[in-house]
Amino acid sequence: MSILFKNADILSVKDGRFEYLQCAYLGVEGKVIDYIGTEAPVKEYSEVKEMSGKMLIPGLVNSHGHTAMNLLRGLGSSLDLQQWLAIMWPIEDRMRDEDCANGMNMAILEMLASGTTSFCDMYMSPGHTQACIGESGMKANLTRVMMGGFKDTDYRLFSNRLEALEFVRQYDNAYDGRLRADWSMHAEYTIDAEVARKWAEETTGLGGRFHVHISETRKEHEDCIKRYGMTPAAWMEETGFFKIPTYAAHCVWCTEEDLQILSSHQVSVVHNPSSNMKLGSGFAPIPRMLELGINVALGTDGAASNNNLNMFEEMHLAAIIHNGYVNDPVAMKAETVLKMATINGAALQQRLDTGSLEVGKKADIVAVNLDAPHMKPNLDPLALLVYSAQASDVTMTMVDGRILYEGGEYLTLDKERIIREFEDSLRYLYR
Amino acid sequence: MSILFKNADILSVKDGRFEYLQCAYLGVEGKVIDYIGTEAPVKEYSEVKEMSGKMLIPGLVNSHGHTAMNLLRGLGSSLDLQQWLAIMWPIEDRMRDEDCANGMNMAILEMLASGTTSFCDMYMSPGHTQACIGESGMKANLTRVMMGGFKDTDYRLFSNRLEALEFVRQYDNAYDGRLRADWSMHAEYTIDAEVARKWAEETTGLGGRFHVHISETRKEHEDCIKRYGMTPAAWMEETGFFKIPTYAAHCVWCTEEDLQILSSHQVSVVHNPSSNMKLGSGFAPIPRMLELGINVALGTDGAASNNNLNMFEEMHLAAIIHNGYVNDPVAMKAETVLKMATINGAALQQRLDTGSLEVGKKADIVAVNLDAPHMKPNLDPLALLVYSAQASDVTMTMVDGRILYEGGEYLTLDKERIIREFEDSLRYLYR
């Protein structure tokens, strides 16, 4: 199976920077991009797709979220954080394996339609939700969220531990590598110190990556200092984490010393601007992280605190809110933000074969419509993507050379069935 | 001509607060809403529209912008403000009457498709662009932007003055009141003090409203203090403005004393969060303005500094960035923001017969699709609209009882012609 996209504008890469080709060709052989150029390729492709008026961009990577929290979308909005959590937790406690899968499937519909080709998830029931990755054709790094142990510090009885170990053992690199099984710990404030230490020890050396929340709120950050005499980042380092590749969500209240710790261990940071703004958490020091060479990716967080899974919105926010915060119109640039949403996310997931449109890379490709009134003129393609484009401008989403979404239709998934099952879960959870 | 919308969810009003009716009816007779209720009306309507899975909301009011700046969309992004202006001005200097109209027509396509029914514009050639309002069926308060006079303070020769006077005299309340002709002054820093004083005198008593920029940037605010020993708001009061109803864009750097001045003169403020963030201007003290009872509306500013005219994006930003800035998840609420984008904008335009869905009000109505994956579940309709919805969820836009946009089609405008003319202007401006 091979496909040639013709007459497309293509956001490719040259010497490590984006290169914009107009009216160009991109060829896909099997799962891999085998041609990019402004001249027609010599090779014959089995399918040719006319793409004039479309821009091909790398698939977006949503590097932090809790997808099944779309079952809680809109719940407790306009409440403060403690009231909000008090509403969330009893409903999450009721969630069954099938609810997690029904939520993730619905999230996949939303993500595919908005140009996301890969995501990172920290939630429950990954042994069950892994099938959503298999069926849909998307890429994901899933984890079993680890928390608790306060009442029962007997590590052997720490039940999530066995689920996580079994999940990673069984599913890492499943579905031809589209699924990666990672480790996680929710956060410093939701785990017993002794359980955390043992968990860090046990997971080191088993492969995989580590997904964690760090210093999302001021309270979390300051409470940790009171509890342990050090910040969450310092506590994690001291507890034995960061020995395997780690990605840390939020990092809003990280100090300069924290950033040095993250940098020295090559910890990636996931910026979640919608969630950080909506919940009043604050402004993560993203420009400083970038200066330090930290790999910063972008995520939506869960739909309960966003309230959607729209990476175009996150790009827009990441590109403008820091300018406003530091009163500098060039604090963040469109090019930087687009890298955060693509190649940096791929690096965090340790998928070095994707994240950009280059010959030899996996064909994880999104087509963006340039013909809408809000997309004219195209004087600056990167600015157009980051400041003007909407998720609804996505007309096609391809993963590993397979078209999963095109023109409002899902090619691997039964949308009606997924909506029906999602509504079944809603009825159960809110009964 | 009468239309009945049936089985719609309707965001109506009861006792000054939003009221959400499910599976309800809304009747329109001529230009006016004549029925809202959960029971079917007795009256027969000439057309019945099935609206299940749709939410009817009041049309959005974009209260500050320079629509024809969509001709400059994306230009100079990622440059600092001075470099950006240096690129903008020479192109704007070349703009002809027809370029302003071609830009506004394209902006109207974008605004109608994203649920905006009325807008305020500060730009050039209103005597020419007024025809865009006539043709499209939209509502707008247009102005001739007033600036200059530094080199030639002979007030009689101040050429924009005559254009503005003639425009207001000829067009205020044209097109059955859809068009309102307002006064404007660009800002304190772009006008000669003596010219400004005479302009304030001359326009007072002639009717209309006043459209102005106040304290958008720190530099503007501080330079004014150096120049006149007072802030822009104080200088305008002292110069003789605010005697007629005034709406002031930005007000980012307004002090508490400035807000007292604006409040005492019932000046409305237009918040432009995308523009203020992107250009690094900063955070307008919106929560404090609301506490003081100032009428705060919402605008996109021009597409050159946004870079689109998407009021759903502005609502989202207005609802979350202040939470992040003051570290309070309830600094702004969805309900407040929705009022800013509707009824507060209508009040600023002195259109008391619109801005909400109520019997007796003009039928300025937008239908929003609830069936997309990112719009489920609908646990909180206001949160769904402000935090989750996208401009592309708009399926219908009606102004004065007339459907102007529905399902991707424009009913009063020739989209292909408008795009062609817009591209003609681009060729001329960038030749």
Q: What is the tens place of the pLDDT at every residue in A275-322?
A: 999 999 999 999 999 999 999 999 999 999 999 999 999 999 999 999
Of residues A317, A335, A383, nearest to B307 (C-beta): A383
**Residue A142 banded pLDDT, cuts 50, 70, 90:** very high
Quick check: A279 contacting B, CB < 8 Å?
Answer: yes
Exposed e or buried b per residue across B269-285, where buried means at least 16 C-beta atoms within 10 angstroms of its C-beta: bbbbbbbbbbbbbbbbb
Q: Tell me whether 0.90 is exceeded by the ipTM.
A: yes
Q: Please judge whether B330 and A79 are an interchain contact, meaning their C-beta atoms are less than 8 angstroms apart.
A: yes
Strand A394-399 relative to strand B116-123, pairing:
unpaired
Instruction: Out of A281, A328, A384, name the one closest to residue B74 (CB).
Output: A384
Q: Burial, B379: exposed, middle or buried (Cβ in 10 Å; 0-12, 13-18, 19+)? A: middle
> Residue A18 belongs to what H/E stretch?
strand A17-29
Which of B79, B309, B387 lies closest to A77 in CB terms? Answer: B387
Residue A148 in this model has a pLDDT that exceeds 90 = no
Partners of B282 on chain A (C-beta within 8 Å) are: 324, 327
Tell me the CB-side half-sphere exposure of residue A106, using CA atoms within 13 A: 31
Nearest chain B residue to A384 by CA distance is B74
Q: Which amino acid is at B117?
A: T
Q: Among the listed ranges A204-213, A339-348, B52-61, which one has the minimum average pLDDT value? A: A204-213
CA B285 to chain centre: 19
Q: Taking a C-beta distance cutoff of 8 angstroms, is the pair B126, B154 a contact?
A: no
pLDDT digits (tens, 9 = 90+) for B19-29: 999 999 999 99
Q: Which amino acid is at B194?
A: E
B268 SS3 class: strand
Q: Does A282 contact chain B (CB < 8 Å)?
A: yes
Percent helix, strand, coil in chain A (nearest 5)?
40, 25, 35
Pairing, β A2-14 against β A54-58: parallel
Of A310, A324, A382, the CB nearest to B276: A324
Does residue B310 sit at the A interface (CB-CB below 8 Å)? Answer: yes
CB contact under 8 A, A373 and B334: no
Residue of A nearest to B383 (CA): A74
pLDDT given at position A154: 63
pLDDT of B80: 76
Q: Which of B109, B313, B384 sits opposite A373 (nearest CB)?
A: B109
Would you say the pTM of this structure is higher than 0.90? yes
Mean per-residue pLDDT of chain A: 95
Q: Which of B249, B242, B245, B165 is nearest to B202 (CA)?
A: B165
Mean pLDDT across A213-230: 97
* Interface contact A379-B74, CB threshold 8 A: yes
CA atoms within 13 A on the CB side of A236: 32
* Number of residues that make up chain A: 431
- Which residue positions in chain B have pLDDT lower than 50? none
Written as one letter, the residue type at A358 is: E
pLDDT of residue A79: 77
CA distance B58 to B11: 8
How far apart CA A398 and CA B309 sit, in angstroms, is 29
Residues A258-274 have a mean pLDDT of 98
Among B18, B73, B272, B415, the residue to mutate for chain A (most A Cβ within 10 A): B73
Looking at the complex, does the CB of residue B422 fall below 8 Å from at least one CB of chain A? yes
- The whole-number average pLDDT for the span A159-170 is 91
The alpha-carbon gap from B211 to the nearest alpha carbon of chain A, in Å, equals: 24
β-strand A246-250 against A365-369: which pairing, if any? Answer: unpaired
Contact B324 A329 (CB under 8 A): no
How far does chain B reach from its first CA to its final CA, in angstroms? 47
3-state SS class at A166: helix
Q: For B299-323, what is each residue's pLDDT tens digit?
A: 999 999 999 999 999 999 999 999 9
- pLDDT, average across residues A10-17: 95
User: Which of chain A's residues have a Cβ under 8 Å away from the Cβ of B79?
Assistant: 329-330
Give residues with Cβ within 8 angstroms of A291, minimum separation 6.
Answer: none
Sign of the alpha-carbon dihedral angle for B308, B311, B316, B321: positive
Selecting from B72, B73, B324 the residue whose C-beta is nearest the C-beta of A280 gives B324
The closest of B62, B15, B348 to B210, measured between CA atoms, is B348
H or E segment at A62?
strand A60-62
Residue A376 has pLDDT above 60, yes or no: yes
* Stated length of chain B: 431
| Interchain CB distance below 8 Å, A376 and B106 | yes
Measured in angstroms, the CA of B311 and the nearest CA of chain A are apart by: 12
SS3 content of chain B, % helix, strand, coil (to 5): 40, 25, 35
CA angle in degrees (0–180, nearest 5) for A211-A213-A217: 170
What is the C-alpha to C-alpha distance for residues A54 and A368, in angstroms, rounded to an integer?
A: 5
Cα separations in angstroms, A41 against A28, A37, B251: 11, 8, 55
Q: Which residue in chain A is spatially nearest to B415 when comparing CA positions? A: A373
Query: Which of A9, A17, A71, A73 should we substitute to test contact with B (largest number of B Cβ atoms within 10 Å)?
Result: A73
For residues A187-191, average pLDDT: 92
Q: A305 — contact with chain B (CB < 8 Å)?
A: no
Neighbours of A41 (CB within 10 A): 15
Q: Say yes or no: B112 contacts chain A, CB-CB below 8 A.
A: no
What is the rounded distance in angstroms from the CA atom of residue A426 to the CA atom of residue B281? 43
Which residue from B74, B324, B376 is facing A422, i.e. has the nearest CB?
Answer: B376
- Separation CA B281–CA B265 (nearest Å): 25
The residue to which tokens 């809202």 are assigned = B36
Q: Nearest by CB to A274, which of B79, B306, B320?
A: B320
| A244 token code pair | 């395997």
DSSP state of B40: P
For residues A315-330, give the mean pLDDT: 97
Contacts of residue B201, Cβ cutoff 8 Å, sequence gap at least 6: B240
- pLDDT at res. A151: 59
Counting Cα atoms < 13 Å in the Cβ hemisphere of B380 gives 19
Largest CA distance in chain A: 67
Q: Look at B282 and A324 and tell me if their CB atoms are within 8 Å.
A: yes
- The b-or-e profile of B302-322 (16+ CB within 10 A means b, else e) is bbbbbbbbbbbbbbbbbbbbb
B392 touches chain A (CB under 8 A): yes
3-state secondary structure of A13: strand
Give me the domains of chain A, ranges plus CATH numbers.
2-59+356-410 (2.30.40.10), 60-348 (3.20.20.140)
- A 256-275: CB under 8 A from B: 274
Distance, CA of A114 to CA of A106 (rounded, Å): 13
